[in-house]
């Protein structure tokens, strides 16, 4: 499945290079118009990252996200610095279908496990952003990728599987924003290890060949941000390559 994405800072559509706020590209686009365009081309799910909220929870762009949800028929998945159950509940209440939890799943695993029990596995997607070291270990990063969490992807999957983990977004940080192609070997490995999880691939997508490679890797979906913003290809072309189920 093709999942177009936009990142938002103070209401503007942006892209960061490998999560670095000092390497920001701002696009002169209306967030709603951009997402409506993606929807019109056939996208059934859309992915929004609140980078302002990720950096400062007091400045979460919840009102804007609510406006975007109300202006769209597609299902919305939202991430970016979720730190409390109140934030999860608020996003679900305004119509977000799935909340993406990253750092907190590493730092406060038991808390997030309770959210799975309360809200259900369809409402939560884990964001497992990994740095792969020389030993091939997939270390999950936290705090906007600025620090390592000290836990492996596999250990976190094992922690959440008993609680019904169904959706997980995995980014190879070294590929994010680089347009150098996706780490398909990573998705092949984890899809084979954990076939019951709907893996969402993210990072490095530059071409339709990259989309096809991820399609064939065993991932269930692909998050595409920068390549669509700079018009390397369209959502329509991506869906033709990897039809939505």
Active site residues: 7, 129
Residue 63: CB partners within 8 Å, gap ≥ 6? none
- DSSP states along 1-21: -EEEEEEEETTEEEEEETTEE
Burial class (CB in 10 A: 0-12, 13-18, 19+), 12: middle
The CA distance from 100 to 179, in Å, is: 23
Structure tokens at 134: 């020389």
Q: Are 16 and 7 within 8 A, CB to CB? A: yes
Distances (CA, A) of 15 to 12, 50, 160, 179: 10, 11, 30, 12
* CA count, 13 A, side-chain hemisphere, 183: 23
CB of 185 closer than 8 Å to CB of 146: no
CB 95 within 8 A of CB 164: no
93-115: b or e for each residue (b if 16 or more CB lie within 10 Å)?
Answer: ebebbbbbbbbbbbeebeebbeb
Say how far apart CA 127 and CA 104 lie, in whole Å: 10
Q: Tokens 């799975």 correspond to what residue? A: 116
């Amino acid at each position: 499945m093709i999942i177009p994405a936009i990142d938002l800072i103070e209401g503007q559509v942006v892209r960061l290079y490998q999560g670095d706020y000092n390497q920001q590209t701002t696009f002169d686009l209306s967030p709603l118009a951009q997402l409506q365009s993606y929807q019109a081309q056939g996208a059934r799910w859309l992915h929004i990252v609140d980078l302002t909220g990720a950096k400062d929870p007091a400045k979460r762009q919840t009102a804007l996200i609510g406006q975007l949800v109300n202006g769209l028929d597609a299902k919305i998945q939202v991430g970016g610095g979720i730190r409390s159950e109140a934030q999860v509940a608020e996003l679900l209440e305004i119509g977000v279908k799935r909340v993406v939890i990253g750092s907190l799943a590493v730092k406060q695993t038991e808390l997030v496990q309770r959210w799975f029990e309360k809200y259900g596995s369809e409402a939560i997607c884990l964001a497992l952003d990994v740095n792969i070291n020389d030993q091939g270990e997939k270390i999950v990063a936290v705090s906007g990728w600025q620090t390592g969490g000290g836990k492996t992807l596999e250990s976190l999957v094992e922690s959440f599987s008993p609680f019904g983990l169904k959706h997980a977004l995995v980014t190879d940080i070294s590929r994010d924003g680089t347009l150098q192609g996706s780490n398909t070997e990573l998705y092949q490995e984890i899809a084979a290890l954990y076939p019951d999880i709907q893996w969402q691939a993210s990072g490095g997508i530059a071409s339709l060949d990259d989309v096809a490679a991820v399609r064939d890797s065993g991932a269930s979906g692909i998050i595409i941000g920068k390549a669509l913003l700079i018009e390397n290809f369209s959502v329509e072309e991506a869906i033709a390559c990897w039809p939505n189920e």
